[in-house]
Chain A
Amino acid sequence: MELILANTGSYPRVGDTPEQQRLRRAHHEREQGQLGAEAFTRLQDEVTGEVVREQLAAGVELPTDGQIRWADGLSYLAANLNGVSVNGLLRFFDTNTYFRQPVVTGRLTRRGPLFSHDYRQAARAAGRPLKAVLTGPYTMARGSILEGGYRSIHALALAYAAVLAQEVAELAEEGAPVIQVDEPAILRHRADLAILGEALVVLARGKGAARLSLATYFADPVPVYDDLQELTIDLLHLDFTYSPALGRVIGERGASKALSLGLIDARNTRMETRETVFPVLDQVGRRLRTPAHLAPSAGLEYLPRDRARAKLEAMRRLRDAYVGDRR
């Protein structure tokens, strides 16, 4: 079985050493007006390079930029769009983190490219192409307060899709081999799968040679597993930590899409072992389209930085041992 080691999305931007806290200090200085925009961007670039190299050193073969610029999963995008303002805090799914809710009051348009700078800078630091990660249009729409411009979540999701399609096209042009669209909200609103399907068709139009990946996490994907296989995507990321049955389901039903196996728990410090990972790989292995990805269940910023790195290192050891054992 060929398993590519991938990061899923975010990586902790701050660690416990003073050196690893310089972005935190810089944010504070920026808020106090003691640090200029240019110096702040330079530091963000530096830290991006640092977290990309850390992923590579841990053995990740398809790293991300770590999303270290993202204030949260929604407002980073919303703050750069016309027709949206940013409102109060809301808990981000079942995490102990919060996001600022976009408030949509008019038609959505981009003020300019959002992610291509982030991607270009991170890819330069990595010396190789990366996975690009965006919050998807359905989750953006579901997390927004709709006050104007559109009449429904459906219309708003398609409007976000139109905006994000431009980003997808630019990222593809930059050479991103995988462009991942994060849609955790769909697992809580299964009745809206058709909306997500339409939005993904819009995104797929601009993907060029890149593979379009859909990432679901923070809930059990089993109830919609078959539906997810029907979407216009090349790769499907699944969070195994909410579902003891997922491995069995994949083993029984197979997969028409290439899968990213989110077997490394990005929300808990307990380390994965052969006993927790190998049986699932055995269940799914014969039904996988290869190459598949092995990845953390979600973004890693929910873990302390040292544990995040340790998890990635464990992921490499487990993959190598599994492939060695089964050869």
Chain B
Amino acid sequence: MSRAKLASLGLDLPLLPTTSVGSFAKPDYLVEARARHARNELTQAELERLEERATEFWVREQEEIGLDVLVDGEMYRGDMVAYFASLMGGFTQGGLVRSYGNRYYHKPIIVGEIKWPGPMTVGWWKKTQAMTRRPVKGMLTGAYTIMDWSFNDHYPGRRPAAMALARELRKEVEALVEAGCKIIQVDEPALSVRPEELPVAIEAMHVVTDGLPAYFVTHVCYGAFEFIYPAMLDLPVDNWDLEMSNSGLDLVDLFRRHPFTKDLSFGVVDVHTHVLEEPDVVKERVARALSVLPTEQVWLDPDCGLKTRTVDETIAKLRLVVEAARAARRSLGVTR
């Protein structure tokens, strides 16, 4: 059904489409430039020129590797929530908090009414799409996750904050659609954390996506899906992009017990290890995906964003995804 939707949107993708989740490693010159920009040693325009250069680099790499649906690599973003919070009205930047190991981020604080400031990702989507003939995903972080990963000093509770965010994020999605974007990924990695709040996340996603002519993807990772599956399938998106390999493909058994009814972008390489998988390991993961899902429903990609890997590791992992997809297509007797 979703392939029919893709076709209706004018998207002719091969069987087992390949893509990636969103972020890539920033080249060293950009890391340094962002630090200089933070110290006011580099202007915004100078930084943006380097961000565009890095985006173009990743577009060419993705094309050369052979991915079917491209991403902009998020060269202009730091953290996936802090980026939006830094642009939207109603937020202030909080102090550093730890995410894991030695990684920290500035967790935003909601201090007033949330307001859409005008397009936040559309300009980058347009620039990136202009660099390639392949479809580029529009990407933003979802309302539930922005709420969950922010402190809230303003709204009376979590649901009111999520709904306020959803109303404003819909404007961003409408702007992406108007710009011509046909595949839009709304990342909701916090979705699984409070099973009792799944209805809030679903309600918020309805606000963001209902009635809009695009193929919607959501990316969720590192969660306790056993508590929300299969109820999570009620989320109004066409495709779930799930981390599978880092958790030993344990979700496959869940899908065997209750069929997965949406398209699934199946993470076939682990992004949290420097180790490059053997090609046969990735092919085996593809085979496991196809053992529980109709081929037409399966996309292949890495588990999560690749920004924590080096440029070389990222390219090598993406190449593995594409090679595994090609091998699977050959074994299915199709060329694309």
Contact with B along A1-43 (1 / 0, CB 8 A): 0000000000011111000010010011001000000000000
Closest to A31 in B: B102
B193 within 8 A of A: yes
Which of these, B104, B153, B246, contacts A89 with CB under 8 Å?
A: B246
CB distance from A35 to the nearest CB of B (A): 12
Cβ contact within 8 Å between B100 and A270: no
List, in ascending order, chain A residues with CB within 8 A of B255's CB: none
Cβ contact within 8 Å between A91 and B148: no
Cβ contact within 8 Å between A306 and B95: yes
A173 within 8 A of B: no
A268 within 8 A of B: yes
CB distance from B165 to the nearest CB of A (A): 16
B331 within 8 A of A: no
A-B contact number at CB 8 A: 83
CB distance from A37 to the nearest CB of B (A): 16
B residues 246-275 near A (Cβ < 8 Å) are 246-248, 270, 272-273
Cβ contact within 8 Å between A91 and B223: yes
List, in ascending order, chain A residues with CB within 8 A of B227's CB: 188
Beyond A268-B152, A304-B95, is A94–B100 a contact (Cβ under 8 Å)?
no
List, in ascending order, chain B residues with CB within 8 A of A97's CB: 98-100
List, in ascending order, chain B residues with CB within 8 A of A14's CB: 96, 98, 104
Cβ contact within 8 Å between B100 and A72: yes
Cβ contact within 8 Å between B99 and A304: no
The CA-CA distance from A303 to B94 in the complex, in Å, is: 9
Which of these, A99, A145, A307, contacts B100 with CB under 8 Å?
A: A99
Beyond A270-B151, A304-B94, A304-B96, is A71–B101 a contact (Cβ under 8 Å)?
yes
Chain A residues with a Cβ closer than 8 Å to the other chain, count: 35
Cβ contact within 8 Å between A98 and B222: yes
The CA-CA distance from A268 to B192 in the complex, in Å, is: 19
Cβ contact within 8 Å between B101 and A96: no
The CA-CA distance from A188 to B223 in the complex, in Å, is: 14
Cβ contact within 8 Å between A301 and B246: no
Interface residues on B, range: 20 to 34
List, in ascending order, chain B residues with CB within 8 A of A27's CB: 101-102
A90 within 8 A of B: yes
B224 within 8 A of A: yes
Chain A CB within 10 Å — which of B104, B190, B223 has the most? B104
The CA-CA distance from A302 to B96 in the complex, in Å, is: 9
Chain B CB within 10 Å — which of A15, A21, A95, A305 has the most? A95
Contact with A along B69-106 (1 / 0, CB 8 A): 00000000000000000000000001111111110100
CB distance from A165 to the nearest CB of B (A): 28
The CA-CA distance from A27 to B104 in the complex, in Å, is: 12
The CA-CA distance from A316 to B222 in the complex, in Å, is: 37
A150 within 8 A of B: no
Beyond A96-B149, A269-B109, A304-B107, is A91–B193 a contact (Cβ under 8 Å)?
yes
The CA-CA distance from A96 to B108 in the complex, in Å, is: 13
Beyond A88-B247, A95-B193, A269-B109, is A305–B104 a contact (Cβ under 8 Å)?
no
Which of these, B96, B102, B222, B223, contacts A16 with CB under 8 Å?
A: B96
CB distance from A271 to the nearest CB of B (A): 8
The CA-CA distance from A175 to B249 in the complex, in Å, is: 46
A93 within 8 A of B: yes
Cβ contact within 8 Å between A91 and B98: no
CB distance from B60 to the nearest CB of A (A): 31
B194 within 8 A of A: yes
The CA-CA distance from A305 to B151 in the complex, in Å, is: 14
Beyond A12-B97, A307-B95, is A91–B102 a contact (Cβ under 8 Å)?
no
A residues 139-171 near B (Cβ < 8 Å) are 145
The CA-CA distance from A28 to B104 in the complex, in Å, is: 12
CB distance from A140 to the nearest CB of B (A): 16
Closest to B151 in A: A269
Cβ contact within 8 Å between B94 and A96: no
A residues 232-269 near B (Cβ < 8 Å) are 268-269
Closest to B100 in A: A98
Closest to B111 in A: A269
A residues 82-114 near B (Cβ < 8 Å) are 88-91, 93-99
Closest to A103 in B: B248
Cβ contact within 8 Å between A88 and B194: no
The CA-CA distance from A301 to B98 in the complex, in Å, is: 7
The CA-CA distance from A14 to B103 in the complex, in Å, is: 11
List, in ascending order, chain A residues with CB within 8 A of B246's CB: 88-89
Cβ contact within 8 Å between B151 and A91: no
The CA-CA distance from A134 to B222 in the complex, in Å, is: 24
Contact with A along B114-156 (1 / 0, CB 8 A): 0000000000000000000000000000000000110111000
Cβ contact within 8 Å between A269 and B148: no
Beyond A16-B96, A94-B193, A269-B109, is A88–B148 a contact (Cβ under 8 Å)?
no
CB distance from B67 to the nearest CB of A (A): 24
Cβ contact within 8 Å between A91 and B149: no
Cβ contact within 8 Å between A268 and B151: yes
The CA-CA distance from A97 to B190 in the complex, in Å, is: 11
Question: Can you give 25 A-B contacts (C-beta < 8 A)?
Answer: A12-B97, A14-B104, A16-B95, A24-B102, A24-B104, A28-B102, A71-B101, A88-B248, A88-B270, A90-B247, A96-B99, A96-B107, A96-B148, A97-B100, A98-B100, A188-B227, A268-B153, A269-B94, A269-B153, A270-B153, A301-B97, A302-B97, A304-B95, A304-B107, A307-B95
Top 6 nearest A-B pairs by Cβ distance? A304-B95, A94-B193, A98-B100, A27-B102, A269-B151, A88-B246
| Other A-B pairs beyond A15-B96, A96-B107, A304-B94, 8, CB < 8 Å | A16-B95, A89-B246, A91-B224, A96-B99, A97-B98, A98-B99, A270-B151, A305-B95
